[in-house]
């Protein structure tokens, strides 16, 4: 495949990740505005987060097989087109229910085009190692989008412009990406029987111990990470020490560490074996949480944002290795399964932490006890993988049997 096409496909993928992060990770800044605008309860306003996350989960597991059945190109174009329509319709609506419907529609679109993009990364990667590095770069761009989105919303509100223009901006970007996706040449696999590619096959893949194992590990990680961007601002609102600036900017610092860490991971993976890195970083996250709980806000104000640096490499690496455990003609389906675990954990993880905190007396720190438990279990799984090495051995076996790809114009 021509290097220019590979470069274009990579940049298309990176920008897709950045674009949808601009909208999904800006919800925390938007929720206070819709509470004021529509006089909502916290539970009702929280649907702006839970709704699209649930739709992404449904889109991932229910439609992830499309990337294998009709091809990466068509799947990505369908998802991007649906997302741009959902974003554009924000210009004509003015009710909470309509906006929530559009967010759910955009979540479904993300579930479609992200599985296509994840499968595409497998097509342009020659080895499992290059796949992991590309995945870290893509998630690095996601981290950049997670910073840009809230910044745009804050700037819009400061200028007296409605928050919904963020989605209109994202919709315009999405149209450009859709046009690029339509003209670029994609790789293709040796033909497989597409009649057997359907939701039933996705369910069959889900029964694989590798699919189940990586789904659980990803869910544990995402639930632990969600504690930061959902509950850390609530935890640190009572901080009154000498470093109030750190509490004020804690979420921005966390997202910055996470984004920088994902780009650094590309270099780090050349120096340290990925299995060892996963053990060290997952243990570091658990330590950050436990120390924050034990020593209080004076320590939490620094360690919780710093945990973003340790989290950076974990999600894209788990995602990459989980997908690489399957042949490339099944990458769409397994990407959908892992995306389901991601979105489900992002939706229900914070909810469980909130319920537990309320049950324990209403203090946010109790939710971080659960988060520390999630990080500890994640570390246990990483230690198991390091000692017994089931993943790399299976990936090597899959690579030996997987057919090569060729250019599809």
Bridge partners for 406 per DSSP? 188
Q: What's the rounded mean pLDDT across residues 123-146? A: 92
Q: Which of 29-38, 110-119, 133-142, 189-198 comes out lowest in average pLDDT? A: 189-198
pLDDT band at 409 (very low <50, low <70, confident <90, very high): very low
Average pLDDT over residues 101-112: 95
pLDDT of residue 405: 45
50 compared with 156, residue with greater pLDDT: 156
- 95 pLDDT band (50/70/90 cuts)? very high
The mean pLDDT of 67-81, rounded to a whole number, is 92
Q: What angle do CA 67, 71, 77 make, to 5 degrees?
A: 80
Task: Tell me the mean pLDDT in the region 154-163.
Answer: 91
Of 13-27, 186-200, 235-249, 371-385, the least confident: 186-200
Assign 189 to helix, strand or coil.
strand
Q: Which is higher by pLDDT, 210 or 365?
A: 210
pLDDT band at 355 (very low <50, low <70, confident <90, very high): confident
3-class state of residue 311 by DSSP: helix
pLDDT higher than threshold 50 for residue 50: yes
In this prediction, residue 4 has a pLDDT band, given cuts at 50, 70 and 90, of low
Q: Average pLDDT for residues 97-108, to the nearest whole number?
A: 95
**Long-range pairs of 259-262 with CB within 8 A, sequence gap ≥ 24:** 259/140, 259/143, 259/144, 259/146, 259/147, 259/312, 260/143, 260/309, 260/312, 261/308, 261/309, 261/310, 261/311, 261/312, 261/313, 262/136, 262/137, 262/139, 262/140, 262/142, 262/143, 262/312, 262/313, 262/316
Ramachandran bin of 296, using left for φ above 0, alpha for ψ from -120 to 50, beta for the remaining angles: left
pTM over 0.85, yes/no = yes
Mean pLDDT of the chain: 89
pLDDT of residue 195: 54
Q: Which of 108, 115, 56, 70 is nearest to 331 (CA)?
A: 115
DSSP output for 156-183: HHHTT--TTHHHHHHHHHHHHHHHHHHH
| Lowest model confidence (mean pLDDT) among 25-29, 36-40, 261-265 | 25-29
69 pLDDT exceeds 50?
Answer: yes
């Amino acid at each position: 495949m021509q290097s220019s096409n590979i470069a274009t496909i990579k940049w298309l993928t990176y920008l897709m990740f950045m674009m949808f992060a601009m909208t999904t990770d800006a919800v925390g800044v938007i929720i206070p505005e819709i509470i004021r605008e529509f006089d909502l309860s916290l539970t009702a306003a929280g649907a702006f987060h839970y709704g699209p996350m649930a739709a992404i989960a449904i889109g991932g597991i229910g439609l992830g097989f499309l990337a294998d059945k009709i091809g990466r190109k068509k799947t990505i174009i369908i998802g991007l087109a649906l997302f741009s329509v959902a974003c554009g319709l924000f210009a004509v609506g003015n009710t909470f229910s309509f906006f929530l419907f559009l967010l759910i529609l955009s979540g479904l679109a993300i579930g479609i085009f992200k599985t296509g993009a994840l499968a595409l990364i497998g097509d342009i990667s020659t080895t499992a190692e290059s796949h992991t590095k590309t995945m870290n770069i893509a998630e690095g761009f996601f981290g950049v989008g997670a910073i840009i989105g809230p910044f745009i919303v804050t700037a819009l509100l400061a200028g007296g412009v409605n928050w919904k223009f963020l989605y209109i901006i994202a919709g315009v970007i999405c149209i450009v990406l859709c046009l690029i996706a339509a003209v670029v040449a994609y790789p293709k696999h040796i033909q497989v029987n597409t009649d057997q590619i359907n939701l039933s096959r996705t369910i069959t893949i889900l029964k694989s111990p590798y699919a189940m194992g990586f789904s659980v590990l990803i869910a544990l990680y995402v639930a632990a990470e969600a504690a930061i961007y959902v509950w850390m601002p609530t935890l640190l609102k009572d901080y009154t020490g000498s470093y109030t600036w750190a509490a004020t900017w804690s979420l921005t610092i966390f997202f910055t560490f996470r984004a920088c860490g994902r780009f650094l991971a590309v270099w780090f993976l050349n120096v340290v074996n990925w299995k060892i890195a996963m053990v060290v970083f997952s243990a570091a996250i658990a330590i950050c949480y436990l120390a924050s709980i034990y020593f209080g806000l004076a320590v939490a104000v620094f360690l919780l944002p710093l945990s973003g640096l340790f989290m950076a490499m974990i999600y894209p690496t788990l995602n990459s290795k989980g997908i690489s455990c399957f042949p490339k003609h099944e990458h769409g389906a397994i990407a959908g399964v892992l995306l389901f675990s991601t979105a489900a954990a992002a939706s229900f993880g914070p909810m469980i932490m909130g319920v537990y905190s309320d049950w324990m007396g209403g203090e946010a720190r109790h939710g971080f006890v659960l988060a520390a438990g999630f990080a500890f279990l994640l570390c246990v799984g990483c230690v198991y993988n390091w000692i017994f090495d089931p993943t790399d051995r299976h990936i090597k076996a899959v690579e030996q049997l997987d057919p090569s790809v060729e250019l599809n114009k």
